Amino acid sequence: MGYRDILANYKNVLLGVLAALLIGIGLIWYSGIGARAYAMDNNLEASYQAAFFDLVDSTENLDVLLGKALVSDSKGQNIITLTTAWHEAERARMSLGQLPLEMPAMMRSQYYMAQLGDFCYSLAQKLAEDMEISQEEMKTLETLHNETRTMHRELRELTITVAEEKQFRFANLARRTGKLTPEAKLFVDGFGKMDQRLQDEVPTLTYDGPFSDHVVNMEPRGLIGDEVSPQEASKIALNFVNELGYDLNVERSEESTGHIPTYNVRLRPQGQRQGETVVGVSQQGGHVVWMMYGEAPQANEQITREAAFEKAQEFIDQRDLGEFTQIGFLEEGNELLVNYAMVQDGVIIYPDMLQVTISLENGNIVGYDAAKFYTSHTERELPEPEITEEEAREKVNHDLQVEEVRLALIPLANLDEKLCYEIKGTMNEDTYYVYVNAQTGKEEKVLLIVETEEGTRSI
């Protein structure tokens, strides 16, 4: 065998070894990816199963707690029981939200848990204020107890599918890449039937809480005027953006059936495919409820925050909706969101709020939201305070260093509005707003004000 033959054989062997090494490395790499993907899939499946069994556990706890509340005649014990039920209902609602089910299959279930917890909290609040739970409320509590017990039984039946059917995996529901397996279909159908039963059987709940049916279904009070057509809405939207200095053309108008039914008018600059602006015009009265301008953000600020405040106030004044005062702001990126509340006879009307968003690069109005205003605004006859400012100051903690007191109308969870003294003060370097009822002297609400460089928010 010659030198060339030996060299050729050596090269072939070397190539074979390198090929084997590359294949081996590829297999190890691929198996590593596969192992990681398998581990991630198992972790995801475990989280889904944990959410489901937490839901089953919460409904069982709610069944027990509601039963105890019906039996107990102790106010103190029932305050603890009902407050615990409120927490369990919220836990159940969170578990429902973590399941990989499409919204129609569990929309009513989540709403039911929100109402159940809210109702229990409202009863605990009544007892804490030394009030009695009415016979009607006890009857409602009994109905909710029966519904929750039925719900728990239905969920227990679904655990058989989860625990015993080896082919069932929650992750397959999340992916929905093809036809559901019989086990998965059984599970989804079970949730759908439960949700429909709650829709059909749970009575209307009216109580002092944000999820009460009368609150959720509240008709907007600030919409006046006749119905407008899509064409009229488009003209209103076009005039609105023209007044802001934007040269846009209407592309189309779409109906939206939200809390405030609107025509969502979409506009763009002539000949451009990007930068869409949308204006929501109420179907009743043709009021501009909201606007989002499709301007591409820039990197550098060009106007000061104070100049942005002036631009926002000027815009609010031009809307001709009444007198408004700034109540807070938040800077996000290169935009400044400013909150306003209406002022009537020197009283701040917090339910009637507006939001304006200003671009800090050029001072343009890039966002507007008047939904809260048109939901709550109405002609009001404000009552005269029954207690003085000095008496209101005496109602708050004496360690609170009072800085400012003013009258304000505040919204409560049940849609009631109360005239209060808004008492701003500090304690332990924190700022608080304490709201004392101007008629009764009762403390209605306490807010902690968090102030950062970006703005303020209340908790």
3-class SS of residue 338: strand
What is the helix, strand, coil percentage profile of the chain, to 5? 50, 25, 30
3-class SS of residue 330: strand
Is residue 83 within 8 Å of 120, Cβ to Cβ? yes
What is the per-residue pLDDT for 184? 73
Cα–Cα distance for residue pair 6/11, rounded to 1 Å:
9
Quick one: how many helices (H) and strands (E) in the chain? 11, 13
Q: From residue 425, how far is each of 184, 343, 351, 403, 429 by CA, in Å?
A: 57, 22, 22, 5, 10
Beta strand pairing status for 347-359 and 249-256? unpaired
105-130 average pLDDT score: 84
Q: From residue 49, how far is each of 95, 238, 362 by CA, in Å?
A: 10, 51, 51
Is the model's pLDDT at 211 over the cut of 60?
Answer: no
Kindly give the residue spans of alpha helices, DSSP state H, lying in 264-369. Answer: 305-319
Using one digit for the tens of pLDDT, what is the confidence trace for 58-82? 999 999 999 999 998 888 899 999 9
For 48, other C-beta atoms within 10 Å of its C-beta total 20
Q: Give this prediction's pTM.
A: 0.66
Q: For residues 388 and 15, which has the higher predicted lDDT (pLDDT)?
A: 388
What is the per-residue pLDDT for 104? 54
Is residue 392 within 8 Å of 441, Cβ to Cβ? yes
The structural domains of the chain, ordered by start, are 31-216 (no CATH), 230-376 (no CATH), 389-458 (3.10.450)
CA-based radius of gyration for the chain: 30
For 138, other C-beta atoms within 10 Å of its C-beta total 13
- Is residue 448 exposed (0-12), middle (13-18) or buried (19+ Cβ within 10 Å)? exposed
Confidence band for 213, pLDDT divided at 50, 70 and 90: low
Reading the block at residue 8, the tokens are: 């050729």
Length of the chain: 459
Residue 283 phi/psi, 5° resolution? -65, -30
208-226 average pLDDT score: 70
Using one digit for the tens of pLDDT, what is the confidence trace for 130-142? 889 999 999 999 9
| Strand ranges in 234-302 using DSSP code E only, listed in sequence order | 249-256, 262-268, 277-282, 288-292
What is the per-residue pLDDT for 51? 86
Q: Give the bridge partners for 401, in sequence order.
A: 426
3-class SS of residue 400: coil
